[in-house]
Amino acid sequence: MNTPPFLLAAAALFWGAQSGNWLVAAACAVLLEAPRYVERRWQLESTEFNRVSDFCTVLLFAIAAYLYFTFGNPRAITLLFLWMPVILLPLVLAQAWSTTRSLDLSVLFWSLRRYPMRRATKLNLGYPAFALWLLAAAAANREGAAFYLGLTLLAAWPLLLARPRSYATGVTAAMLLAAAIAGYGGQLGLRQLQQWLEASAPEWLSGGGARTNPYRSTTDIGAIGELKLSQRILLRVEADPARTPSLLLHRASYDDYVGGTWIARNARFEQLAPFGIASNWRLYDAQEPLLQVTVHDDSDGNPVLSLPANTARIEGLAASEMKLNALGAVQVEHKPGFFTYRALIGTGSAYGAPTARDLAVPRAETAAINQIANELGLAALPPDQAVATVKAFFASHFEYSTWQDQPARGRTPLSEFLLAKRAGHCEYFASATVLLLRAAGIPARYATGFSAQEWSALDNAFLVRERHAHAWVRAWVGGSWQDIDTTPPIWFLAEAAQAPYWSPLADLWSWARYRLAAWSAQAGERGWSDALIWLALPLIAWLAWRTLRGRRAVAAAAPGEAAMATARPGLDSEFYLIERHLAERGHVRRDAEALTEWLVRLAEQPDSEALSRLARLHYRHRFDPAGLPAAERMALRDEALAWLARQPPS
């Protein structure tokens, strides 16, 4: 290795301190630094290096696939970077314990083996391995000054040693210190900027797809064409199908409608404290829970939970924090990937009391809403009858459709839905119902989440797909918030009929991925990493045996490493004069290139048969424990000098 002594060991130990894998780090540090003090080496050919590189590549892809199907992104990417230097360690050790000082790039890239470069490019893996250890330490994401200090010292170490002689040590150290202070201040500033953005404009940071923004819901009301929905399974919900044949899982509610977008104006989150133990959380005081539902969440680490109405407690969720807003959204800080929690349903509610905003009707929709409200006579009805009237109105006069045409001029899409088209998806029904109930004097909110109706015997649970995303209404009736769904029930079957023919195969794959994720979650990250290490050890031992069998260990004296002055047998071979002569004429033997491979490239040279005979004598002189008999030793010398004498002068 071309790195300073102990630099790689220090980087590995720094990684161990950040990741908590001290035993692995210590073993790697010893293996990386031992070649400086152990004189034995193995003379490996390019095929051996290729074998080790291919092994590392296959191991990398296998672990990447396992992490993805177990933890999902982005957690899988973080864990892959965390273990990258350990995965690639066999290749680094192969160079460190061999007589080769640098590797041809073809060892790392399959394409260069098939189409080699006209001029070989060499690479010593010392500093790339050092950088990889530092990157892996950063992936552990242990914030604090200790990490930054360790990173600075390790980066400054080789820079100080490599400084030009014209730069004094003190000047160089002062420049590095100034750069470190500036970098530390810069990263603190970026962190504060991120925190300010999260606090000041959280709606900017919401994602798409299955993610839920608790501050804003941009609907597809007014969108032209067909609403495309995904078959991907997001949740598995364990509940009694006899008591709950369908279940609305709430994520977020909104109280203000502006041009096709619902906004949560009353959405300030309040911090919750764990209840009893760190994994239990109480949303409100309730008597003995009436129902328990277990949710297995695999929706890319969405921080907004999917909860049944009137969830009083959440158990089994080891989140770093949990927050609740007055509209009933529950947000958590939890590492990305698969997680499970139990929702215990009570008789009360954690949602805030109605406000004036829960009765507001947008000016653009007032005419159409008042027209329908007057036709139904909602203002004269008590709240429960008004709700029943609105539900009957949508059930008898409207149809479900995922296709929308251009609305007539002068009408909003929602007005067109109420007065003319009378067909739409759940966002139309929920939005129109909220505004009609408000026109009747009933406080109402727009609610989003999922509808769990698809029972799976294989999972023994309800499956919730991305296409099961749903919108409904929460109305204040009888002194409490009640869920009201006016979308025709046919919507669920209509969307299921559009499922592609390969859905069963995709579902089976999702089930296998879920079972693997559930097992891994039970084992814990340390459990799976320990199992991975013990599984990799016999594979690495097998690789070492395949690579080193039949290879004779030789002593090496590499510049810059520990003193290894013991002379190797056969260094007085006259064949080296031939090798030098050919190198001067452009026939350079590549690093890690076997002598036989080199001679194949020289097959068109004069006296190639004589070269082959001399190479065989040279190999025996170098590696045969008994050496060459005196007669053959003399033949090697005489024939080599004769071969050189026959060559034309340069």
Question: If you average pLDDT over residues 325-343, what whole number do you get?
Answer: 83
In the predicted structure, residue 371 carries a pLDDT above the cut 90: yes
Give the DSSP letter of residue 181: H
Which pair of structure tokens corresponds to residue 335? 């590492």
Question: How is the chain split into domains, by residue range?
Answer: 7-141+522-548, 216-499, 575-646
Q: Taking the CB of residue 197, how many other CB atoms lie within 10 A of it?
A: 12
Question: If you average pLDDT over residues 312-336, what whole number do you get?
Answer: 85
Better pLDDT: 209 or 479: 479
Query: What is the C-alpha to C-alpha distance for residues 627 and 244, in angstroms, rounded to an integer?
Result: 85
- pLDDT tens, 545-579? 656 555 555 554 444 443 333 345 677 788 888 88
Question: Which region among 85-94, 470-479, 527-536 has the lowest average model confidence (pLDDT)?
Answer: 527-536
Average pLDDT, the chain: 80
Q: Taking the CB of residue 113, how many other CB atoms lie within 10 A of it?
A: 15
The fraction of the chain above a pLDDT of 90, given in percent, is 18
pTM, two decimal places: 0.58
384, 356, 363: which is closest to 475 by C-alpha?
384
Helix %, strand %, coil % for the chain, to 5? 50, 15, 35
Question: Do the Cβ atoms of 474 and 253 come closer than 8 Å?
Answer: yes
Alpha carbons within 13 angstroms on the beta-carbon side of residue 168 total 3
The whole-number pLDDT of residue 499 equals 76
122, 127, 121: which is closest to 161 by C-alpha?
127
Confidence bin at 207 (pLDDT 50/70/90): very low
Question: If you average pLDDT over residues 329-346, what whole number do you get?
Answer: 82
The whole-number pLDDT of residue 226 equals 53
In the predicted structure, residue 527 carries a pLDDT above the cut 60: no
Question: Do the Cβ atoms of 501 and 529 come closer than 8 Å?
Answer: no
In the predicted structure, residue 117 carries a pLDDT above the cut 70: no
The whole-number pLDDT of residue 367 equals 93
Which pair of structure tokens corresponds to residue 524? 């814990």
Which pair of structure tokens corresponds to residue 185? 């201040």
Question: Which region among 316-325, 434-443, 461-470, 492-501 has the lowest average model confidence (pLDDT)?
Answer: 492-501
Question: If you average pLDDT over residues 314-331, what whole number do you get?
Answer: 87
The whole-number pLDDT of residue 227 equals 53
Question: If you average pLDDT over residues 396-406, what whole number do you get?
Answer: 84
The whole-number pLDDT of residue 392 equals 95
Query: What is the C-alpha to C-alpha distance for residues 272 and 28, in angstroms, rounded to an integer?
Result: 43
Query: What is the C-alpha to C-alpha distance for residues 354 and 357, in angstroms, rounded to an integer?
Result: 8
In the predicted structure, residue 37 carries a pLDDT above the cut 50: yes
- pLDDT tens, 133-179? 989 888 877 766 777 788 888 888 888 777 776 667 777 778 778 88
| Ramachandran category for residue 497: left, alpha or beta (phi over 0 → left; psi -120 to 50 → alpha) | alpha
The whole-number pLDDT of residue 567 equals 45
Peptide bond preceding 74: is omega within 30 degrees of 0, i.e. cis? yes
Assign 3-class secondary structure to 299-334.
CCCCCECCECCCEEEEECCCCCEEEEECCCCEEEEC
Q: Long-range contacts for 555-561 (Cβ within 8 Å, ≥24 apart)?
A: 555/39, 555/40, 555/41, 556/39, 556/40, 556/41, 556/99, 558/101, 560/2, 561/1, 561/35, 561/36
Question: Which region among 53-67, 133-147, 387-401 has the lowest average model confidence (pLDDT)?
Answer: 133-147
334, 274, 344, 293: which is closest to 521 by C-alpha?
334
Question: If you average pLDDT over residues 600-621, what whole number do you get?
Answer: 80
Which pair of structure tokens corresponds to residue 494? 């209509």
Highest-confidence range of 189-203, 415-429, 511-525, by mean pLDDT?
415-429
Which pair of structure tokens corresponds to residue 469? 């995303």
In the predicted structure, residue 520 carries a pLDDT above the cut 70: no
- pLDDT tens, 347-361? 877 788 899 999 999
In the predicted structure, residue 319 carries a pLDDT above the cut 50: yes
Residue 262: which H helix or E strand, with range?
Answer: strand 261-263
Q: Taking the CB of residue 357, how many other CB atoms lie within 10 A of it?
A: 14
Which pair of structure tokens corresponds to residue 570? 């056969």
- pLDDT tens, 460-495? 889 998 888 899 999 999 888 999 999 998 888 877
Question: If you average pLDDT over residues 110-126, what whole number do you get?
Answer: 74
432, 505, 517: which is closest to 473 by C-alpha?
432
The whole-number pLDDT of residue 475 equals 95
Residue 531: which H helix or E strand, with range?
Answer: helix 503-548
Give the DSSP letter of residue 566: P
Confidence bin at 402 (pLDDT 50/70/90): confident
Question: If you average pLDDT over residues 257-264, what whole number do you get?
Answer: 88
Question: Which region among 121-125, 206-210, 371-375, 480-484 has the lowest average model confidence (pLDDT)?
Answer: 206-210
The whole-number pLDDT of residue 442 equals 95
The whole-number pLDDT of residue 487 equals 93
- DSSP string covering 36-65, please? GT--EEE---HHHHHHHHHHHHHHHHHHHH
Determine whether 522 is exposed, middle or buried from the number of CB atoms within 10 Å of its CB (0-12, 13-18, 19+). Answer: exposed
